[in-house]
Amino acid sequence: MVWLKRLGIGVFSIFLVVVAVGALRTPAWSLEVTQEMTAPMDVIHQEVSDFRNWKRWAGWSTSVDPDAEFTFTGAARGEGAAWSWKGPLMGQGRMVITKADPKKGIWFDEAIESEEFNASGSITYTDLGEGKVKVTWRDQGRLPPVIGGLVALTVTKALHAHFTAALEELKSRVESQQARLERLPKVVVHGSLHAVTKARDWSAKVDLADLSTVRTIGVGMLEGLKGTVTFVEGGAWMAEVVDGKIADRVTAEPTGEAAMMVFANVNRWRASAISKEVSFTDLGAQIAARMSQVGLPMDRPTPFRLRGEIVNAVWHVVDGSQIDEEATTRAAHIAGAQVQTRSRVKVDVVGFYAPKSGGVITDHGADLIAHIVVPIERVSGHLDAGMIQPLSVLLLPDPKE
């Protein structure tokens, strides 16, 4: 039995050595990983500040742990946003964003395998110029004494590898998104709705003869508010008020000048059907939902078209001669306009979804501007109301050109 006693003493001695080593080493991790990305900070921040996006690039997802459960609470993004996870492979944890700055980054607290916060970190941005941004992920935390001292180095190496892979995936994602954004149509604006209404500036801002109608979507008001102009299908649809009557014409080579004009060249469209009757006032919400589905950005003006039927369509053609000299409101402009109605009509609706361009492209509080074209009658104007019928087709720019 002497050998057994010696074995026990040996094992106990090794245990004491291990405990001593673990006690002497710091039970903490601290690391920093960086990655250069060619993308705007706001595109990077959109991914980083929303925990719902982390499943796509940060490495915590059901592809790693199919049985994991994720919960999102607090703010939708930025400061106050929180998420937690629990799974047999990932363990459990919780993160809360404590600070967020679109130009600097985010900071967060973490509770890893604990109810209390035991770690913290940040993902920050540094502008390197020429469209490049350095993204830095820092993380630090403490493990239980002794065991933590033994495994802290292993944890640090594992986290370093994990964060490196995550930032590489983030780089791929944001640079791919940026490439898509660069392929989207550039929207050009001459004049503004505010200038036309509030400032009563009806002077010419652009010569229509200088604009190409090829693959161009455009809406505008003629100089002096003598009518409206709409670009679609390679033609310019002019609705001018002459002696109190609307004179409509369509031409591939427009002449005259516009007091306001919004246009974009679209090479390729993505189509989706309207499945049920939609009020014109709800069209913006429909467009926003489709844009979200295909990954189009919501913060910039986007051209759209809609082909189909409208019931109880109402549109107007602006008539500057009928607007009171003191009027500085959009309502006054509409009150003096030539109004057209149809009980049912096949149309091509042309416009721009621009919820953040109030006073420039759209009325304040409105999310879009739209013109109506009725090909069979060869008439057009500014669309005000109507019920869009099922099977109408909504067209949005396709960045996969």
Cβ–Cβ < 8 Å for 145, 20:
no
258 has which bridge partners? 206, 222
Q: How high is the pLDDT of residue 15? A: 39
Task: Pick the closest to residue 102 from 129, 128, 139, 127 (CA basis).
Answer: 127
Q: How high is the pLDDT of residue 3? A: 43
Task: Pick the closest to residue 137 from 176, 175, 177, 110 (CA basis).
Answer: 110
Residue 67's CB: how many other CB atoms inside 10 A?
10
Q: Name the packing angle between helices 41-48 and 147-183 (round to 10°).
A: 130
Phi, psi angles (nearest 5°) of residue 82: -145, 150
The pLDDT tens digits along the chain (401 residues) read 444 444 444 433 333 333 333 343 455 778 899 999 999 898 899 899 999 999 889 988 777 788 889 999 999 999 999 999 998 888 888 999 999 999 999 999 999 878 889 899 999 999 999 999 999 999 988 775 544 444 457 778 888 999 999 999 999 999 988 887 788 899 999 999 999 999 999 999 999 999 999 999 999 999 999 999 999 989 999 999 998 899 999 999 999 999 999 999 999 999 999 999 999 999 999 999 999 888 788 888 999 999 999 999 999 999 999 998 888 888 888 888 999 999 999 999 999 999 999 999 998 889 999 999 999 999 999 999 999 999 999 999 987 75
Q: How high is the pLDDT of residue 144? A: 57
Cβ–Cβ < 8 Å for 237, 172:
no
Q: How high is the pLDDT of residue 106? A: 97
Give the span between the Cα atoms of 217 and 37, in whole angstroms.
33
Residue 156's CB: how many other CB atoms inside 10 A?
16
Q: How high is the pLDDT of residue 16? A: 35
Task: Pick the closest to residue 167 from 81, 61, 59, 41 (CA basis).
Answer: 59
Cβ–Cβ < 8 Å for 124, 104:
yes
Using the structure block, give the residue that is written with the tokens 């990305």.
37
27-183: in CATH 3.30.530.20: yes
Per-residue model confidence as pLDDT tens digits over 314-340: 999 999 999 988 888 888 888 889 999
Residue 63's CB: how many other CB atoms inside 10 A?
9
| CATH number corresponding to 188-397 | 3.30.1330.80
Per-residue model confidence as pLDDT tens digits over 352-365: 999 999 999 998 88
H or E element that contains 290: helix 283-294
Question: Which pair of tokens denotes residue 371?
Answer: 């013109």
Question: Which pair of tokens denotes residue 167?
Answer: 């930032």
The residue ranges of every structural domain in the chain are: 27-183, 188-397
pLDDT cut 90: percent of the chain above it? 66
Give the span between the Cα atoms of 172 and 76, in whole angstroms.
24
Cβ–Cβ < 8 Å for 159, 31:
yes
- 104 Cβ partners below 8 Å, 6+ apart? 124, 125
Give the span between the Cα atoms of 188 and 216, in whole angstroms.
11
- 45 Cβ partners below 8 Å, 6+ apart? 100, 102, 105, 106, 125
DSSP characters over 31-86: EEEEEEEES-HHHHHHHHT-HHHHHHHSS-STTT-TT-EEEEEESSSSTTEEEEEE
Give the span between the Cα atoms of 154 and 110, in whole angstroms.
19
DSSP characters over 373-384: EETTTTEEEEEE
